[in-house]
Structure 1
Amino acid sequence: MNQNIKISHQLSVIKNILFLLLCGLICASHTSTIRAKSHISNDENFTKEREECKRAAGNPINEELGVALVETLKRIGTELVKYVENGDHEQTQLTIGEIKNMWKCLVLNEESMANSGESPESLKKYMAEILYFANDRNCKSPDETFFNGQCLPISTTKRSEYCDVHMGLYDDEKNKGICDCLELTKEQAKSELRPIYSDKTGFCHRQNTQGPCEIGEWFVLKNTSLCEPVPDGCPTDGRHVYWNPDNSTAKQCWEIWTRGPCKEGQLLHLAQDNEAQVYCSSVSAESMGDKSISNNSSCPPGTIRNQQNTCVTANTFPG
């Protein structure tokens, strides 16, 4: 191997030690039911990670952060190509870790990409191709995952033909496919209850339907999924919720996205986290807007919702 290249990389590694300590590994261990386990637990940690990534990029001014992050990503990518071509397996693996760390920083600071000259699509394509080149990924396309011995389209908001009803094909941290509950788009999440996972059946079912429950029960989410008796008069059609606008009134069954008990000009909306929260609003459902570097909808940036209904660090990079 070219000695100058190795010395150059060693200097680069020294400069990136702080980065490696600060940003941590983006990949988490995979199980059959959880895509990833590294949590961005709250807004404080999220803000802290973003600031640490900014320092790792050399503390550029905010307007130049996206440019600095992309330039660092591309520089590490160039080093990765050299090590692969020179057959230096040890340095290749170290550099793969570095480039994945930088990708996490890009995801956490996605809004800064506007001045970088790159789009989410171009960056995802770049990452997929370079990790594929380094044999760290099975599929060359960022939109595919390896499932049943072949590269297949990732589908998280529309049912995949390779998965059961209410389930899509997700990509885990090793670019291997896993079927999990469909996510709702931001628009859908205002007026539809998302599917939730049942340990009993191993599949996903619509909330507030009978699902895997006994007759007279419906499948609900209250921090965890469970079966509860259906409130009197509530249809188990996945369109109705048992709710009261305030504690001075009794709970009743209301249909989502209708006026219900709301004021004129308002509709019943949903805010879905550990369980669905119902509220009255005159604001129409938000559109999805521009495509994101990550593929999550209702979870914070850089995270997705797993079968246990937790927002976890997503495999938002391809590989």
Structure 2
Amino acid sequence: MNQNIKISHQLSVIQNILFLLLCGLICASHANTIRAKRHISNDENFTEEREECKRAAGNPINEELGVALVKTLKRIGTELVDYVENGDHEQTQLTISKIKNMWKCIVLNEESMANSGESAESLKKYMAEILYFANDRNCKSPDETFFNGQCLPISTRNRSEYCAEHMGLYDYDENNKGFCDCLELTREQAKSQLRPIYSDETGKCHRQNTQGPCENGEWFVLKNTSRCEPVPDGCPTDGRHVYWNLDNSTAKQCLEIWTQGPCEEGKLLHLAQETEAKVYCSSRLEDYMGPISILYSTGCQHGTYSQHKGLCKSPHYG
């Protein structure tokens, strides 16, 4: 088997494998979205899919996997440039699909990228530029999205001037089109701050456990989805208090996050935010996990515009 046939067969295997993977990433439950791995249905499937990627890359040993994956990505990129320059639309579209599928393999095996000679930022830049060249993206930079007829900076943790209060500009990676959604919090911020949630009524994001878009005597809370509920007696609507109990043996009460409250000395009330805001006792620095990988994008968090509109995101290039 000559080298070109071998490469073509290898890429065909990747495409078939990752068609199933991509469907799983888009269609799976998004209850836990901090890590892209949580889009995979279970650990066994996740391991199996990673092994398939290894086989598709020629079964290199672990420390060489990143090198093999990046080399294959760049090889497909070179093919894509040739097809675009030759005006071969059919092969261009097929090759775009292949290069996106290879990116999914790189995301699944991110830890192996340390030895690839590429950084996450350089890979994102390469992906954005090659797909822009093939007219599959509107913006050349991986840090920009197409919004209001122009390429604008993506801003997910700081308010974008093009969006309402408590909202940033996100990129919908299926077509590089932007939309406004509730601001993200860093992992450290999420222990002590309630994240903003989206209101269908106002079309904006509001701080949780404040009056927000609700009537007097109500506060805006997240219970799997955003809603207005009567404020528990004596609970301030300042976005710093939650109505919760630390365990089932005690009644719910109004608790101020990031204070000692009912915790033992030396510990504070931290937040756990998924389908609703809960509190737990922990030391100030405990459970810090560092920043989210820049290879990954967050999915549809409960209570966000993207969840309401079904704009769930898969791992992508920016």
Residues 223-258 of structure 1: CA distance to partner in whole angstroms, max 9, x if unpaired? 111111111111111111111112222211111111
Report the equivalent of 1:82.
82
Q: Name the SS for the 1:164 alignment partner.
A: coil
After TM superposition, list the pairs within 5 Å mapping 1:173-188 onto structure 2.
173-188=174-189
Report the equivalent of 1:270.
271
Q: Which moved more, 1:105-114 or 1:19-28?
A: 19-28
AA aligned to 1:182 is L
AA aligned to 2:314 is A
Shift of residue 67 of structure 1? 1.5
1 CA distance for matches of 2:204 and 2:40?
A: 26
1:119 aligns with 2:119: yes
Residues 151-205 of structure 1: CA distance to partner in whole angstroms, max 9, x if unpaired? 1000011111001111111111211111111111111111111111122222111
- Kept after mapping to 1: 8 A contact 2:144/2:153: yes
Report the equivalent of 1:196.
197
Shift of residue 42 of structure 1? 3.3
Shift of residue 312 of structure 1? 3.9
How many aligned residue pairs are there?
299
- Kept after mapping to 2: 8 A contact 1:27/1:315: no
1:14 aligns with 2:16: no
Q: Identify if the C-alpha distance between structure 1 residues 119 and 282 changes in structure 2 by more than 3 Å, giving closer, same or farther.
A: same
Report the equivalent of 1:146.
146
Residues 55-94 of structure 1: CA distance to partner in whole angstroms, max 9, x if unpaired? 3222322222211211111111111111111111111110
2 CA distance for matches of 1:311 and 1:105?
A: 22
1 CA distance for matches of 2:6 and 2:90?
A: 16
AA aligned to 2:139 is C
1 CA distance for matches of 2:140 and 2:40?
A: 32
1 CA distance for matches of 2:311 and 2:243?
A: 25
Superposition RMSD in Å? 2.5
Report the equivalent of 1:160.
160
2 CA distance for matches of 1:199 and 1:51?
A: 42
| TM-score (ref. length: structure 2) | 0.86
Identity between Structure 1 and Structure 2 (%): 71
Report the equivalent of 1:258.
259
- Kept after mapping to 2: 8 A contact 1:23/1:52: no
- Kept after mapping to 1: 8 A contact 2:297/2:313: no
1 CA distance for matches of 2:52 and 2:243?
A: 44
2 CA distance for matches of 1:22 and 1:84?
A: 25
| TM-score (ref. length: structure 1) | 0.85
Q: Which moved more, 1:16-25 or 1:258-267?
A: 16-25
Q: Identify if the C-alpha distance between structure 1 residues 170 and 251 changes in structure 2 by more than 3 Å, giving closer, same or farther.
A: same
Q: Name the SS for the 1:227 alignment partner.
A: strand
- Kept after mapping to 1: 8 A contact 2:242/2:278: no
Q: Identify if the C-alpha distance between structure 1 residues 233 and 164 changes in structure 2 by more than 3 Å, giving closer, same or farther.
A: same
- Kept after mapping to 2: 8 A contact 1:132/1:138: yes
Report the equivalent of 2:36.
none
Shift of residue 295 of structure 1? 4.1
Report the equivalent of 1:103.
103
2 CA distance for matches of 1:25 and 1:130?
A: 24
